[in-house]
Chain A
Amino acid sequence: MTMVQPQVQNVVQELAARISHDDVLRCIRCGLCAYTCPTYRVEECESMAPRGRLALVRAVIEGKLELSPRFAEKFYDCVLCAACTSACPSGTKADAMLLEARHVLFDAGLVPEPVRGLLERLETRHNISGEENAGRLVWCSNMEHAPTGLGRSQAETVYFVGCVGSLFPMSFSIPQAFSQTLDLAGVEYALLGGEEWCCGYPAFISGDVELAREMAAHNLEAVRQAGARQVVVTCPSCYHVFTHVYPELLGEEALAGLKVLHATELLADLLESGALRPAAVPMRVTYHDPCDLGRKSKVFQPPRRVLQAIPGLELVEMASTGANSLCCGGGGNVESSAPALVESMAGRRLAEALDTGAELIVTACQQCKRTLSSAARKRRLRLRTVDVVELVWQALEQTHSGGSR
């Protein structure tokens, strides 16, 4: 114990220095956040509620509680969806404090084992999968027409694919659909291939701020090397980290002269201007807001504008939508340490989707798609989830092949 004590003392001081007592005290402990918290609603346990987690931070700062692996667990099983902050009547920035706690815990070496494995992969391979990063373009290897961005090293626009779309076969269809859409619309873009590193978000939310900073700096340099003035992303977490975290890590000027767009922002304009003309999709669909795109980056309308531009498609909203949207469970890297919890969270979102009578869930995130699809499969539900860029490409392909109705 005497060996550990000084270090623990330092962490407590760190926690107190980085999360102010005043900020924690802003929490009036009413418990409203629990109602909106996806982990609480599954576990119904106070230590899985934002209020409980903040009480733990406060107890440590006030010297009433010692740090322990169990303490750390309570912060790494939060999906970081920020629903708590959005619902808080007293303006407590719970999400920021829960994230800050992870940073302190990382510095103290209190990171859970599965997260440590992820960080190792990020450090050695520069991606979350652990594959050789040079293989980042494997998603386009079996496409009928190679995306034009493949051979282009210089362009106005860089399509930043992200780790999941690049390296996880289940998600290859997303960059395939989006690159073909860009080609059809005549947008010139470059792909960075092995020079694209993980955006840094998984490292950032795991607590390794320095690794995230290194990745941010590398990616921005790669984008500039391509002569780009615009980065377009299909992944909401990449979008959030570029727009909200890079300035924090590298300073506001880091993004000077660079515009960052989510695919849906670009698509909405291309569809509304008539540059893309999708065939009718006579379907009733519901839209699931990814937390990183919606609540955390305030991009609510572009994906809906995209859906409204598809003829014949009817959009019905779920009970919790927009800023109040319910996390699918796929956030915060919780999947690696608590897969059953994630599955139950996804189940609650699926129930909301079923209530709308929609035939299809549309989202704008490969992770939400993966989480919701796999939970639906486990429940033997005939309710598919697609990424909006896949749906758009499907409708465009029909027009293109003359098969439109």
Chain B
Amino acid sequence: MEISREFVQELEEIVGPTYVHTDPVDLQCYAFDATFEEWRPDVVVRPATTEEVARVLRLCHEARVPVIPRGMGSGLAGGTVPSPNGGLVLSLTRMNRILEIDEVNMTVTAEAGVITADLQAEVERRGLFYPPDPSSIKHSTIGGNIACNAGGPRCLKYGVTKDYVMGVKAVLADGRVFSAGGKPIKYVTGYDLPALLTGSEGTLAVVTEALLRLTVKPTVVRTATVVFHDLDLASQAINKVLWAGFVPATLELMDDTTIHTVEEYLHIGLPLDAAALLIVESDGRDEKVVDDEMRGMVEIFRAAGASEVRVAKDEKEREALWKGRRSVSPSLARRRPHKLGEDISLPRSAIPEAIRRIKGVAAKYGLPIAIFGHAGDGNLHPNILFDRRNAEEWARVQQAMAEIFAIALELGGTLTGEHGVGIMKRPFVPQALDPVAVEAMWRIKRALDPHNILNPGKVFPAEKAL
């Protein structure tokens, strides 16, 4: 779209000329996220305060300029990529101050642009703990985590981002600022607006500050790897562990394709004949309790048919056990130039069947699909490996992706567990959600953002489909 010189000048007056970018070189750097969606914005603005955000939004609201709020742009669904119409990228990375750590009430108040790992490090210095741990922990921001309701390996035990958002300061599309929520743990005065904004992918308002709940940092961690030659046995074993009352801090799964890919890259002796490799962790503050929990889980896994269980004796062994899981990404990148990492979410019981069916899709389309993910909560990451420059291959990938989504929905699951809908999953939303529910969402959207300037073209299926 056309952005006038006057509009740019007004932006420069608000945030200062240093923080308004219109050179194609700068715009190109904000044209993408961690997907391969790519559209250049018309202007990038980097405000430093809520007040500046408010003034920028007021301007955009009046001029009907689309606004794409952005943290570190590590999203996996295209949520921070401009639409083909361009617009204004609102980068919040300069808003990176931690405003308060309340040790008595165990909360932290931080601006939206604080990097999650930095926030964690800061609260951990005081013995506190912010559990959500998306794998992008070092390259995503609190604002981005809230926008996508980010999860991570720890969420079976500790919950996802929404379980920690107690309050927000946010800016509406028309530039009005509001605060919602607060430090009381029980808070039911009115609608839960912090919860509404969490997972809204920047379509309802721009969160500029968050009040987050903290817990006490676990000081003891025990790690084990468990090998199964049969997916169903693995699934049954996980259920037995949970029924026994254990809540592992981590329960990660790698399927055979993933195991093979990592082993080809690292040669660390992963079991090539295994159907599933689990990484299990127990954590807490009492060594005996944590050891007992790990021992109890190991006994159940062994009795339930695990062919091998290894418990790390020290930090060095723990690192060695994690090495395979941490190397999934580089090993996949070495196999093919592109990967499409999905994050379907399933009822836990459906995991074995979902993996079997996805393997069928891989065979049908002749594409390697590595599956790994969070076995405890049912969130799986099937990663299709391919070369996008091959048009015919890319067409097969798209068909395979559609089938994977269909499988998730047939088995009672959903499209995405932690990445969000963004651009990439919006065509599948009508199949995934009740039409009346979509209509209700759209009404909320229109009530808060009547001109549809906040991250248009995301989450909702095309308007004509509404």
- Which residues from chain A sit less than 8 Å from chain B, CB to CB? 22, 25-26, 28-32, 34-35, 44-47, 49, 52, 55-56, 59, 64-66, 68, 70-71, 74, 88-91
Contacts and interface: CB of A to CB of B under 8 A. Distances in A.
Contacts of B330: 88-91
A46 B73 contact: yes
27 contacts: A22-B337, A28-B329, A29-B32, A29-B36, A30-B74, A30-B139, A31-B72, A31-B73, A31-B139, A32-B136, A44-B46, A44-B91, A44-B93, A45-B29, A46-B73, A47-B25, A47-B26, A55-B28, A55-B29, A59-B28, A64-B28, A65-B24, A68-B23, A68-B25, A70-B26, A74-B25, A88-B330
B115 A35 contact: yes
A131 to B, nearest CB: 36
Given A65-B25, A90-B333, A91-B333, A44 B34 contact: no
A71 B36 CA distance: 22
B113 interface: yes
Which 4 pairs of residues, A with B, have the shortest CB-CB distance?
A90-B333, A52-B29, A31-B139, A46-B29
Interface residues of B, number: 36
A151 B32 CA distance: 61
Nearest to B19: A45
A90 to B, nearest CB: 3
A30 B96 CA distance: 20
Contacts of B329: 28, 30, 89-90
Contacts of A52: 29
B176 interface: no
B61 interface: no
Contact of A30 (B29, B93, B94, B136): B136
Given A31-B73, A55-B32, A70 B25 contact: yes
A28 B34 contact: yes
B338 interface: yes
Contacts of A66: 24
A64 B117 CA distance: 34
B334 interface: yes
Given A28-B329, A35-B139, A90-B333, A45 B93 contact: yes
B33 interface: yes
B178 to A, nearest CB: 26
User: Which residue, of B29, B30, B74, has the highest number of chain A Cβ atoms within 10 A?
Assistant: B29
Interface in B337-367: 337-339
Nearest to A62: B38
Nearest to A41: B115
Contacts of A65: 24-25, 28
A65 B40 CA distance: 11
B323 interface: no
A29 B28 CA distance: 13
B31 interface: yes
Nearest to A88: B330
B334 A91 contact: yes
Contacts of A55: 28-29, 31-32
A31 B136 contact: yes
B446 to A, nearest CB: 31
Contacts of B338: 25
B29 A47 contact: yes
Nearest to B72: A31
B337 A25 contact: yes
Given A45-B93, A55-B28, A90-B333, 16 more contacts: A28-B339, A30-B139, A31-B34, A31-B140, A34-B139, A35-B139, A44-B46, A45-B29, A46-B91, A47-B21, A64-B28, A65-B24, A70-B25, A89-B330, A90-B334, A91-B334
Contacts of B64: none
B138 interface: yes
Nearest to A46: B29
Nearest to A23: B337
B25 A30 contact: no
Given A89-B330, A90-B330, A71 B337 contact: no
Nearest to A36: B138
A44 B73 CA distance: 12
Nearest to A54: B29
Contacts of B72: 31, 34
A30 B34 contact: yes
Nearest to B33: A29
